[in-house]
């Protein structure tokens, strides 16, 4: 399988990810008990994480999706955030949980949170599977986080490089020669 050969190292195994997702689900269930939970999933990278996470949350919840882009086919954020798909539901007076795959510089998430706060939710928190805090430029509050990730380019479990590798069941470090080819 060519995709496996492109991986330098497995950072988090399928089993480690599932254990962490279940732990996050228990914490969210505890914290949102007796509250109406409205989850916003940021497409596309976090859809695999969301699918597993909601099965670990034992509360009634609603879901909506947004798509924003700041990367394109690169491994570095362009710094320009573009709204690709907006919410279909009104979030006014709702307890919102934004589910992200990875928080890197914080620029994109900061933009998103400002936009969502302007819509009048009762509360807004963030759950991310991966936190690459070493690259943080803007401080963003993370209520729930799975793993701290080093400053490497990771793929798998929904994360991609140029729309590939999302279907890997683990999170791995992509070989640098894959994304430095010209």
In-domain check, residue 159 = no
In-domain check, residue 63 = yes
Task: Locate 142 and state its tokens.
Answer: 């993370």
User: What is the domain-level CATH number for residue 42?
Assistant: 3.40.50.2020
In-domain check, residue 71 = yes
In-domain check, residue 174 = no
Backbone φ and ψ for 41, nearest 5 degrees, come out as -100, 130
The pLDDT of residue 57 is: 98
Q: How far is CA 86 from CA 14, 43, 94, 115, 182, in A?
A: 31, 11, 17, 11, 34
85: β partners:
67
In-domain check, residue 96 = yes
The CA distance from 57 to 123, in Å, is: 18
Domain total of the chain: 1
What pTM was estimated for this model as a whole?
A: 0.91
In-domain check, residue 59 = yes
In-domain check, residue 179 = no
Cβ proximity of 21 and 52 under 8 Å? yes
Residue 104 annotated in active site: yes
The residue among 107, 151, 161, 108 whose CA lies nearest residue 130 is: 151
The pLDDT of residue 77 is: 53
Full domain range(s) for residue 141: 15-149
CB-CB neighbours of 23 under 10 Å:
13
The pLDDT of residue 71 is: 54
Which one of the listed residues 6, 101, 104, 131 is annotated catalytic?
Answer: 104
The CA distance from 43 to 55, in Å, is: 18
| Run means of pLDDT, 10 residues per run, the chain, 182 residues | 85 98 98 96 94 97 90 55 90 97 93 96 98 95 97 96 94 91 57
Provide the pairing of β-strand 7-12 with 95-103.
Answer: unpaired
In-domain check, residue 182 = no
The pLDDT of residue 128 is: 98
The pLDDT of residue 68 is: 87
The pLDDT of residue 80 is: 72
Cβ proximity of 171 and 150 under 8 Å? no
The CA distance from 110 to 93, in Å, is: 20
The residue count of the chain comes to 182
The residue among 50, 62, 6, 75 whose CA lies nearest residue 146 is: 50
């Amino acid at each position: 399988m060519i995709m496996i050969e492109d991986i330098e190292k497995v950072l988090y195994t399928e089993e480690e990810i599932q254990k962490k997702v279940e732990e996050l689900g228990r914490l969210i269930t505890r914290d949102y008990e007796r509250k109406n939970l409205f989850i916003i999933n940021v497409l596309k990278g976090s859809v695999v994480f969301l699918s597993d996470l909601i099965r670990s949350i034992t509360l009634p919840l609603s879901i909506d999706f947004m798509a924003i882009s700041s990367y394109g086919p690169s491994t570095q954020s362009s710094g320009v955030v573009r709204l690709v798909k907006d919410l279909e539901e009104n979030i006014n007076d709702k307890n919102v949980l934004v589910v992200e795959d990875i928080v890197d510089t914080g620029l994109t998430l900061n933009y998103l949170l400002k936009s969502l706060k302007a819509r009048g939710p009762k509360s807004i928190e963030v759950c991310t599977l991966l936190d690459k805090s070493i690259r943080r430029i803007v401080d963003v509050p993370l209520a729930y986080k799975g793993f701290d990730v080093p400053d490497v380019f990771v793929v798998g479990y929904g994360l991609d490089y140029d729309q590939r590798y999302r279907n890997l069941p683990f999170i791995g470090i992509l070989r640098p020669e894959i994304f430095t080819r010209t």
